[in-house]
Amino acid sequence: MINILFMEAESTTAYNIIQTDTSIIVEEVPNYSPTLATYSFYIQLKWSDGEIFPQGEIVLINIIYSNWNQQCPFSATNIVGITDSQGKVYVGLICARENVIDINIKLRDSPDFGAEANPPSEEQREEFSFLPPENNSTVICSVPLTPQILFSNIGTGTQHTYSFAIIADPHIGDFYDDYLGNGYYDNGYPFKPTTSYKRLCAIVNDINSKIDEYKIKFVVVVGDLVQSAERSEFRDCRNALSRLKVPVIPVFGNHDTWPYFKNQNGDYIQPGWSCGNVGDYFAEFFNGIYQQDSMWLPNWRSDNANLYFNTSFDYGRYHFMCSDFVSREPAPQFPGLPFNPGTHYRASLEQTSWFWFWNDYSNVQVSSAEIPKKVIVLNHHALRALFYPLWGDFCFTGNQINQFWYQVGQYGNKFLAWFAGHTHQNNYFGSDLCNQIIETASARNGFYRIVKVYDDYNVDFTYYLDPNSYGMTYIFNGSITPPAYIGYSRFTFSDGTPKAENELNISHTFSPGIWYAYFYLEGVNSYSPIRYYVSKKIYVPDIFVISPQREQLFEPGDKPLFSFSANHIIDGYYFNTIKLKYMIEGGNILDITTLNNTNGSRYWSPSYSNWSIPAGQFSNNCRFYVEFNNNSDYFGTLQLQIPFKIGIRAPSDLKAIAGYDVNGQFIVRLRWKDNSNCK
């Protein structure tokens, strides 16, 4: 028999439900006085990798109490909590114990307090349910780090030729008034694994794991990389993005302009209109990345000299424009402050950026008039007019949209796509100005986008380490699918070596480092010319075979000295094993030994000489195989081949015995090192 007592919401009437094996009896209990209970417990927040939330994280917890059948929740409350040094948030509730069967928690990190969905609030990401805990106990909530991927397609072709990824609004340092140091001009030590930083690192790791699956060629971060434009925020953001294995292009956002927080003297400093200091810290930490992009992305253009961050490049058959329409105007006044120390959140057609944008756009149209390139814009603000009663204009104004209309009308070639962030929402629009306008939800809440590009032709190249080299020569093979007439092709390498023209299959020797290779192809089909730009990042480790030498002659029984140097070029990574194998005269490949880097040394120079050349066989067709394996997937497995010979060196320990055998025939027997098997 089961006996359950429950109450109606906002009522003094209770019901006693008695369930037996054969029936259910409901008895009314009038004027029932419930037993109020105080629940006092802690919620400890941990990431799914086991690391607890750092102290000072602000979280919004929505708690719902359900009645016995979990159909009619009768009470809910929001708790704004701040994690303590153990990642815990205190929860205190007073409710009728009879009614509480389970507790449901919806957690959203870094809420937009007071916004009241204006602009719209972000999606809830985590939800937990559990039975009422004992007083003073701790409920552990493991918050997942796995990002949520949004997908988009562009292009009208039949082949998925490549992809690029979009990260929007990481907001590193979100809801920390002073992120990591004293004032905004800080270096911020020690490091804290904040929610925004953990989310961004998880996204970076996820993109790296999907580069081959989705053919991801580059990543664009469409603004608001940090929350308050403090130096320590920019430093941590750059450190996270530097882990990407493909080029990353940072786009300027309104939170990246000017520190929202006080300086070391405790003063708020307001930027002036077009103040020269706007963007100083952004430039300090990301101009180096722009310099790398200029070597790695085809036809790179930029105009960052005056702290306006406009860049463009070509990839495939498309032209990408990463524009800066962020206002330099001081932001509206907020309650409690004499002024808002940041810059305005609406878009602005600053003269410097406006001139650069249309100059770049017109150059693309004129230089490729016979086949106008499709233009893809990546900007912090979406190309739409957006007005909130509480905030005012939030993207572009209607008048600014009309100015875009006029300019595009001069060429008649509208934008193929416009990708943006800013609103923290996942939105899709279309207009006569642009085929697709797409906003991406914020990385702060664990979202990013993969854009898959489709085309009629797939132009690409492969590369691999030349196994017959000493460790730094790579073989490149260019191709176009389906086949087409190729009028011109060119390989270009970022190490400054001469271009290789009209050759689809070449070899190139690098020095150790991180380089980039471009492949440009012009072809013709039955309709129009084909022009493609493709590029890839090349990681060239410092590996070298010291011995044995190539084509070295060994006698049976010799013990070759295997000696190598292996130096990983990425901090924190190393070569963990070197596998040695051999093959004689086209036979099976057999193991010799495996050398282990037990100390995890980045620079490693092992040697080995305990293996003997097998007896009983001479051959000029032998090979050693050396496989370098690393503790990252930057290189995969690198294999080198060393040809060698088995024979007799001159002079040698060779003896001859001559005489007659039992049949009276004269013979000569050669004996070498007392090994009668070698004759």
Based on the domain organization, do 535 and 631 belong to the same domain?
Answer: no
Q: Give the CATH number of the domain where residue 596 resides.
A: 2.60.40.1930
Q: Are 466 and 325 within one domain?
A: no
Q: Report if residue 128 sits inside a domain.
A: no
Query: Considering the domain boundaries, does residue 135 fall inside one?
Result: no
Q: Which of 65-69, 80-84, 184-188, 509-513 has the highest mean pLDDT?
A: 509-513
CA distance 547 to 561: 6
Report yes or no on 137 lying in a domain: no
More confident call, 259 vs 534:
534
User: Domain end: 455, 475, 507, which one?
Assistant: 455
CB atoms within 10 A of CB 68: 16
Please give the residue range of the domain that contains residue 535.
458-539
pLDDT digits (tens, 9 = 90+) for 100-126: 555 666 665 544 433 333 344 444 456
Alpha carbon separation from 48 to 45, 179, 202, 235 (Å, rounded): 10, 24, 11, 25
Who contacts 167 (Cβ-Cβ below 8 Å, separation ≥6)? 200, 203, 219, 220, 221, 222, 440, 443, 448
pLDDT of residue 310: 95
Domain co-membership, 171 together with 304: yes
Of 7-21, 253-267, 325-339, least confident by mean pLDDT is 7-21
> Do 223 and 171 share a structural domain?
yes
pLDDT in tens, 430-448: 888 899 999 999 998 889 9
Q: Are residues 443 and 469 in the same domain?
A: no
**Residue 221 and residue 157 in one domain:** yes
Residues 641 and 656 in one domain: no
Sequence-distant (6+) residues with CB within 8 A of 366 are none
Residue in 424, 419, 383 with CA at minimum distance from that of residue 400: 383
Residue 118 lies in a domain: no
Q: How many domains are there within the chain?
A: 5
Residues 361 and 403 in one domain: yes
Share of the chain above pLDDT 90, in %: 42
Q: Give the residue from 430, 455, 480 where a domain finishes.
A: 455
Note whether residue 389 is domain-resident: yes
Say yes or no: 501 and 581 in one domain: no
For residue 198, which phi and psi values (nearest 5 degrees)? -60, -40
Query: Which CATH number is 496's domain given?
Result: 2.60.40.10
Cβ 376 vs Cβ 416: under 8 Å:
yes
Q: Yes or no: say if 576 and 596 are a contact pair by the CB < 8 Å rule.
A: yes
Conformation bin of residue 487: beta by default, left when phi > 0, alpha when psi is -120 to 50: alpha
Shared-domain flag, residues 163 and 294: yes
**What Cα–Cα distance (Å) separates residue 281 from each residue in 54, 179, 180, 284, 323?**
25, 15, 15, 5, 18
pLDDT level of residue 76 (50, 70, 90 thresholds): low
- CATH number of the domain to which 218 belongs: 3.60.21.10
Q: What is the pLDDT of residues 346-379, one digit of tens each?
A: 999 988 899 999 999 988 876 554 466 789 999 9
Residue 139 inside a domain? The answer is no
Residues 109/81, Cβ–Cβ less than 8 Å: no
Q: Specify whether 470 is located in the same domain as 486.
A: yes
Tell me which of 509, 539, 569 is where a domain ends.
539
In a domain, 129, yes or no: no
More confident residue, 130 or 336: 130
**130 in any annotated domain:** no
Chain segment 607-654, per-residue pLDDT in tens: 999 999 998 788 999 999 999 999 887 888 899 999 999 998 876 666
> 527: Cβ–Cβ under 8 A, 6 or more apart, which residues?
none
Q: Encoding tokens for residue 156?
A: 């009208």
Question: Are both 625 and 665 inside the same structural domain?
Answer: no
